[in-house]
Amino acid sequence: MADTAEVIVIGGGIIGSAISYFLAKEGVKVLCLEGSDYIGNGGSSRNGGGVRQSGRDPRELPLVMYGIKNYWPHLSEDLEVDCEYHQDGNLRLGKTEKHRKILEGLTDRARKVGLDVTMIDGDEVRRINPYLSDEVTCASWCPTDGHANPLTTTLGFYKTARKYGARFITGERVVELKKEKGKLRKVVCASGDVYEGETIVLAAGYDSRAIAATVGIDLPMEKIMLEALVTEAQPPMFNQMLGTAEADFYGHQTKHGSFVFGGSSGLEGFTKDNGTPICCSLTAPCICRGIMKYFPNLSDAKIVRTWAGWMDFSADGVPMLGMVPEVPGLVLACGFSGHGFGIAPGAASQIAQLILTGKTDVDLTALRYDRFKAKI
Amino acid sequence: MNQVNDRSRDIGEFVPRPDDDMVICRCEEVTKGEIRKAVHEGMWTVTEVRRYLRTGMGLCQGQTCGKLVKGIIASELGIPQSELEPATSRVPMRPIEMKVFAKEAKEADGNG
């Protein structure tokens, strides 16, 4: 069996599937290895669906702006699925002076990088979204933000990558990388299978850390759990993506009519999980209380399902992208820190371009893996 | 499970059948033909079909159609049903109003 490929992508989430898609489309022989039994089984299928520029770190903002300009508007046609992309703006809501200061800081930083985002007051917020309670006194408003369906988008990248000839193997957990004559070459799996490639892309979320360690590279990140819930279908209310200054919840109404909201209890990292991303009984009620303060109308909406997932949170909250000079042949695409969905088309297209041409349209220097320094 | 599963394995072409318009997931109105087609588009697990078509994501959360969907996927792949995972069950067991769920645990003192 020919277990070689020009590019081996480790990780079949949205990042790995999208990189496979962009490479296979250009005729590259791609093999994508997913450790779990399912495509898109991590944050890719468990996030809130934001396609958001506002509130982002200026180092990763150019990448998501690039994706929104070049890919998101026609992604449904490209991927032959309904990505349910809406570009109807993002409201990040505040209720107190402290919130206003947080939002002003985020807005100023984003405007410096060229993003159209403004501060608006409570009345303007309710003109955009009349369902919000009077407690909301301010918001940042970015009209070019939006949301999409993470499930269909992730599986759409997989489906079309496969159509263009990319080979996917699930249940194939990578445990070790091996160099040959100073260059990365072999990928060893827990099953005993070994694959060989000229370029190896590491897009395995938090698991990337242990895999990179086998060639002496440490990727400073940790696992943080986030939880989400979905309501039964409601009549159409609004199309904006929503968040709050304190990040107590975020979400949107889907095409299906249900509301998807993500959030946290504040006790993440200290709850008992037995090694699987399982919901904590404290969190969904806490998210509900947060939502009801902003949207009193939703208090009768029924929750039909809750779920949880891991984020691969990097030491400074932005991803590690690009080549690794110490390990020729290794390309990183991990540490997306809970922002990996909206940025995926932009980031994956740039990683594919880097592999194909050695260059990128968006400068990735600020996202190098060796940027981490001690504080003093 | 963690079974090595090469998604390029040949499972043959999608062949339309007379009962393809039969509704399998009643909550989300998904037909047998849509499920069979999804398998040929690469959705080889109950989980992937659910995320792709919304089977079992409606009000009954798959309590009615779960086994039927699994059977259709297995037969399309030509494998025994026992090789597929059961559909995931998620909290809450029955749909519950946000205002009721919100009382589940004490909130923080003060205004948080």
Contact between B98 and A291 using a beta-carbon 8 Å cutoff: yes
**Domain residues for B62?**
23-101
**Mean pLDDT of all residues in B10-33:** 97
Contact between B98 and A298 using a beta-carbon 8 Å cutoff: yes
**Mean pLDDT of all residues in A101-108:** 95
Q: Is residue B7 part of a domain?
A: no
Spacing of C-alpha A120 from chain mean position: 27
Q: Is residue A320 part of a domain?
A: yes
pLDDT-above-70 percentage for chain A: 99
The alpha carbon of residue A370 is apart from the nearest alpha carbon of chain B, in Å, by 33
d(CA A294, CA A213): 44
Q: Is residue B70 part of a domain?
A: yes
Give the CATH number for residue B29: 1.10.10.1100
pLDDT of residue A113: 87
The answer, yes or no, to whether residue A161 has pLDDT greater than 60, is yes
- Biggest CA–CA distance in chain B, Å, is 62
A139 shares a domain with A8: no
A228 shares a domain with A133: yes
**Mean pLDDT of all residues in B19-43:** 97
Contact between A168 and B42 using a beta-carbon 8 Å cutoff: yes
Residues A28-47 have pLDDT tens digits of: 999 999 999 999 999 999 99
pLDDT-based confidence at A275, cuts 50/70/90? confident
Residues A291-319 have pLDDT tens digits of: 999 999 999 999 999 999 999 999 999 99
A209 versus A276: the higher-pLDDT residue is A209
**Domain residues for A128?**
88-144+222-314
Give the CATH number for residue A285: 3.30.9.10
Q: Is residue A61 part of a domain?
A: no
Give me chain A's average pLDDT, please: 95
Considering only alpha carbons, which residue of chain A is nearest residue B85? A37
Using the 3D structure, point to which of A314, A330, A358 is the last residue of a domain: A314
pLDDT-based confidence at B22, cuts 50/70/90? very high
The alpha carbon of residue B91 is apart from the nearest alpha carbon of chain A, in Å, by 6
A261 shares a domain with A115: yes
pLDDT of residue A277: 83
pLDDT of residue B109: 64
Asked if A333 and A8 count as a contact pair (C-beta separation under 8 A), the reply is no
Considering only alpha carbons, which residue of chain B is nearest residue A192? B4
The alpha carbon of residue A179 is apart from the nearest alpha carbon of chain B, in Å, by 24
Q: Is residue B111 part of a domain?
A: no
d(CA A42, CA A36): 9
pLDDT of residue B87: 84
Count up the domains in chain A and report the number.
2
pLDDT of residue B107: 66
Count up the domains in chain B and report the number.
1
The answer, yes or no, to whether residue A278 has pLDDT greater than 90, is no
Residues B2-15 have pLDDT tens digits of: 799 999 999 999 99
DSSP state of A297: G
Residues of A in contact with B54 (CB under 8 A): 256
The answer, yes or no, to whether residue A272 has pLDDT greater than 90, is no
A234 shares a domain with A103: yes
The answer, yes or no, to whether residue B104 has pLDDT greater than 70, is yes
The answer, yes or no, to whether residue B56 has pLDDT greater than 90, is yes
Nearest to A282 among B48, B54, B105 (CB): B105
A177 shares a domain with A44: yes
A321 shares a domain with A294: no
The contacts of residue A93 (CB under 8 Å, 6+ apart) are: A99, A125, A132, A136, A138, A139, A242, A243, A244, A245, A294
The full 3-state SS of A42-59, as one line of letters, equals CHHHCCCCEECCCCCCCC
A158 shares a domain with A275: no
The answer, yes or no, to whether residue B110 has pLDDT greater than 60, is no
Q: Which of B46, B51, B77, B83 to mutate to test the interface with A (most CBs of A within 10 A)?
A: B51
Asked if A310 and A205 count as a contact pair (C-beta separation under 8 A), the reply is yes
The answer, yes or no, to whether residue B1 has pLDDT greater than 60, is no
The alpha carbon of residue A231 is apart from the nearest alpha carbon of chain B, in Å, by 8
The answer, yes or no, to whether residue A25 has pLDDT greater than 60, is yes
The answer, yes or no, to whether residue A2 has pLDDT greater than 60, is no
pLDDT of residue A178: 98
The contacts of residue A105 (CB under 8 Å, 6+ apart) are: none
A236 shares a domain with A299: yes
Q: Is residue B12 part of a domain?
A: no
Q: How many CA atoms lie within 13 A of A220 on its CB side?
A: 12
Q: Is residue A65 part of a domain?
A: no
A237 shares a domain with A123: yes
User: pTM score, two decimals?
Assistant: 0.96
Using the 3D structure, point to which of A269, A291, A314 is the last residue of a domain: A314
Closest CA to A21 of A336, A348, A273, A329: A348
Residues A320-343 have pLDDT tens digits of: 999 999 999 999 999 999 999 999
Nearest to A292 among B45, B48, B102 (CB): B102
Q: Is residue B71 part of a domain?
A: yes
**Mean pLDDT of all residues in A233-259:** 94
Contact between A158 and B42 using a beta-carbon 8 Å cutoff: yes
